[in-house]
Each structure stands twice: as structure tokens, then as C-alpha cells.
Amino acid sequence: MRLTCPLCGPRDRREFTYYGAGDYLSRPDPGAPAEAWDNYLHLRDNPAGPTRDLWYHDQGCAAWLLVSRNTITHEITGVELVADRKGGRDEA
């Protein structure tokens, strides 16, 4: 398995570390109801089809990546930098 890092190009899976579902990018507001936090921390979908995961390119550019893949075909349909997403980068 290979992931195509937007910075480094296609790399072997061993260069990356899996973190978890892409849901971790949607953090509730601090004052959000307990249900929202419960959902964020514990509840995950288990889709048959397209899903998104977070990976870390630890043996490469050290960037966080959002990987889109299909759980039925195992096809990887996209890899993007978390930093390029709105709110994904700390502002100075």
C-alpha cells in the first residue's frame, strides 16, 4: 500500500502512522452539549464505501494528512494536507 503525500509524492505505507477517523478534525465548541462531545470522542460511523482517515507522515515531511478511501474497493481516492484546510493551520 502506498499513500501519495501532497508534499513528498508516492511513499510506502511504512512511512506513515494511522491516527483515526477524519471526525477528529471536527472538534465541538468548548461549550457544546455533552452529546456533541460524546459523539466526537466515542461514536464512529462504520461506512461501507467512502470514508476519511487521518494519517501522519512521520518518516517523511511530518505533515498531517486527510486520506479518503473506499472501504469496499480499498481504493485511495485522495490525500490532502490538513494544514491546507480552513482552520487547519495555527495563525500567527
Partner 1 sequence: MAELIAKTALDGQRPATGAGLVLATLPPGPVWSIAPFPGVDLAPVLAPLGLAFPTPGQSSSAGDLRLIWTGRDQAFLLGGAAPPGLEAFAAVTDQTGAWAGFSLSGEGGEAALARLVTPDLRLAAFPVGHVIRTALNHIPAIILREGRAGFHIRVFRSMARSAWHELAAVLERLAARQAAEQARPVPTAPVG
CB-count burial class (<10 Å; 0-12, 13-18, 19+) for 23: middle
Q: How far apart are CA 5 and CA 78, in angstroms?
A: 10
36 versus 76: smaller Cβ distance to partner 1:
76
CB of 86 to partner 1, least distance (A): 13
Residue written as cell 512511512?
Answer: 15
Minimum distance, C-beta of residue 52 to partner 1, in the bound complex (Å): 20
- Residue ranges binding partner 1 (CB under 8 A): 7-9, 11-12, 14-15, 58-63, 81, 83, 89-92
